[in-house]
Structure 1
Amino acid sequence: MQNHFEEKTASGAEGASLPEFVATRVTSYFDDRVGKAWAGGHIMRGRQPGPDALHLSSNDYLSISKHPDILRAMSDSIQSEGNGLLMSGIFLHGDNPLLALEDRFARFMRSEASILCQSGYAANTGLIQSIATPETPVYVDMMAHMSLWEGIRAAGAKAIAFSHNDAEHLGRQIRRNGPGVVIVDSVYSTNGSMCPLTAVVETGVEHGCVLVVDESHSLGTHGPGGAGLVVALGLADRVHFRTASLAKAFAARAGVISCSARFQEYFKFESRPAIFSSTLLPHEIAGLDATISVIERESWRRVKVESNAQYLRAQLTGLGYNLNGSASQIIALESGTEQRTILLRDALESRGIFGSVFCAPATAQNRALMRLSVHASLTQGQLRRIVHACEAIREAVGLADWASTRRMRATPVAVAELEPAKYAA
Structure 2
Amino acid sequence: MGLFDKFEKNAALYNQLSAIGKNPFTVVMEEVLGPTRAKIKGRETVLAGTHNYLGQTFERSAIEAAKQALDHEGTGTTGSRVANGTFSGHTKLESDLANFLGMDQCIVFSTGYAANLGAIAGFVDRVQDVVLIDADCHACIYDGCQLSGAETIRFRHNDPENLDKRLSRLDPKYNGKLVCIEGMYSMYGDVAPVKEFVEVAHKHGAHLLVDEAHSFGVYGETGKGVCEADGVMDSVDFYTGTFSKSLAAIGGFLASNHPEAEYLRFSSNPYRFTASPSPATIASANAALANISENPVFREKLWENANRLHAALTQFGLRLAAKPGPVISVLLPTKEDAFAAWDFLLEHGVYVNMAIPPGTPGKESLLRLAVSSAHSADDIDRLVSAYEAMAEAFPSARVTSDA
Task: Give me the TM-score of the superposition, normalised by structure 2.
Answer: 0.88
1:231 corresponding residue in structure 2:
228
Look up the SS of the partner of 1:59 in the other structure.
coil
Q: State the partner residue of 1:139.
A: 132
Cα pair distance change 1:348/1:87, threshold 3 Å: same
Q: Does 1:58 align with 2:50?
A: yes
1:79 corresponds to 2:71: yes
SS at match of 1:137: strand
CA distance in 2, matches of 1:38, 1:163: 36
Match of 2:196 in 1: 199
2:242 aligned with 1:249: no
Structure 2: which amino acid aligns with 1:44? F
Q: How far did residue 109 of structure 1 move? A: 1.3
Structure 2 CA distance for partners of 1:113 and 1:352, relative to 1, 3 Å: same
Q: Answer whether contact 1:191 1:326 (CA < 8 A) is retained.
A: no
- Cα separation, 2, equivalents of 1:211 and 1:348: 40
Give the structure 1 partner of residue 149 of structure 2: 156
1:415 aligns with none
Instruction: Give the 3 Å change call, closer, same or farther, for CA 379–229 of structure 1 in structure 2.
Output: same
Deviation per CA, 1:72-127, whole angstroms, max 9, x where unpaired? 11101111111354222124699833122211110011110000000010000100
In the alignment, what sits opposite 1:23?
A: 4
Cα deviation digits, residues 107-154 of structure 1 (max 9, x gap)? 011110000000010000100001222343322111111100110111
Amino acid in structure 2 at the alignment position of 1:229 = V
Amino acid at match of 1:123: A
Identity %: 27
> Which deviates more, 133-142 or 205-214?
133-142
Paired with 1:104 and 1:356, the residues of 2 have a C-alpha distance of 32
- Of 375, 378, 381, the match for 2:375: 378
Q: Is the 8 A contact 1:60 1:251 kept in 2?
A: yes
1:270 and 2:267 equivalent?
A: yes
Quick one: structure 1 residues 21 and 91, their matched pair in 2 at CA, closer, same or farther if it must change by over 3 Å? same
For residues 26-175 of structure 1, the aligned pairs below 5 Å read 26-31=7-12, 33-34=13-14, 42-45=23-26, 48=40, 51-83=43-75, 85-91=77-83, 96-134=88-126, 135-175=128-168
Q: Residues 261 and 288 (structure 1 numbering): CA distance in 2 closer, same or farther, change over 3 Å? A: farther
Matched residue of 2:4: which SS? helix
Q: Is the Cα contact below 8 Å between 2:220 and 2:226 reproduced in 1?
A: yes
The structure-2 alpha-carbon separation of the partners of 1:38 and 1:100, relative to structure 1 and needing over 3 Å to count, comes to closer
| Unaligned segments of structure 2, at least 5 residues | 29-39
SS in structure 2 at match of 1:90? coil
CA contact (8 A) 1:313 1:331 kept: yes
Instruction: Choose the corresponding residue for 2:310, options 308, 313, 328.
Output: 313
| Contact 2:85-2:276 within 8 A present in 1 as well | no
Moved more, 301-310 or 164-173: 164-173
| Distance change in 2, residues 1:95/1:162 (3 Å) | closer
Deviations 1:299-325 (A, max 9, x none): 101011011111211221222222122
Note closer, same or farther for the CA distance 1:46–1:257 as it changes in structure 2 (3 Å cut): closer
1:285 to partner: Cα distance: 2.0
Matching residue's letter, 1:198:
K
**Inter-CA distance 345–63: structure 2 relative to 1 (3 Å threshold):** same
* Structure 2 contact 49–369 (Cα < 8 Å) conserved: yes
The answer as to whether partners of 1:319 and 1:391 remain within 8 angstroms in 2 is yes
Contact kept, 8 Å, 1:110 with 1:227, in 2: the verdict is: no
Q: Matched residues in 1 for 2:118 and 2:86: separation?
A: 24
The answer to whether the 8 Å contact 1:330/1:373 transfers is: yes
Deviations 1:349-406 (A, max 9, x none): 1111110111234214642211100001223343233223222222422326x7xx47
1:34 Cα deviation after fit: 3.2
How many Å separate the matches in 1 of 2:372 and 2:339? Answer: 24
Moved more, 363-372 or 38-47: 38-47
2:136–2:361 CA contact under 8 A, matched in 1:
no
* Compared CA separation, residues 327 and 159, structure 1 to 2 (3 A): farther
For 2:192 and 2:231, locate their aligned partners in 1 and report how far apart those are by CA, in whole Å: 15
Distance 1:398-1:272 versus aligned 2 partners, 3 A rule:
same
Query: What is the aligned partner in structure 1 of residue 334 from structure 2?
Result: 337
> Could you tell me how far 1:290 is from its partner in structure 2?
1.4
Other-structure match for 2:32: none
Superposed CA offset, 1:268-287 (max 9, x none) = 10001111111122222222
- The counterpart of 2:349, out of the listed 328, 349, 352, is 352
Deviation of 1:334 (Å): 1.5
In the alignment, which residue of structure 2 is the partner of 1:288? 285
Q: Which runs of 5+ in 1 are unaligned?
A: 1-19, 410-425
8 Å CA contact 1:191–1:331 kept in 2: the answer is yes
2-structure distance, mates of 1:22, 1:117: 32
**Alpha-carbon distance change, 267 to 320 in structure 1, aligned in 2, over 3 angstroms:** same
Deviation track 1:247-300 (CA, whole Å, cap 9, x = no partner) reads 000001000110246334310100011111111222222222212211112210
Q: What number of residue pairs does the alignment pair up?
A: 385
Aligned residue identity for 1:158: E
Q: TM-score, normalised by structure 1?
A: 0.84
Contact 2:322 2:328 in 1 (8 A): no
| Residue pair 1:138, 1:182 contacting (<8 A) in 2 also | yes
Task: Tell me if the contact between 1:359 and 1:365 (Cα under 8 Å) persists in the aligned partners.
Answer: no
- SS of equivalent residue, structure 2 residue 56: coil
Q: 1:27 to 1:249 in 2, by over 3 A?
A: same
Cα distance in 2 for partners of 1:297, 1:64 equals 13
Residues 261 and 103 (structure 1), Cα distance of their counterparts in 2 relative to 1, 3 Å cut: farther
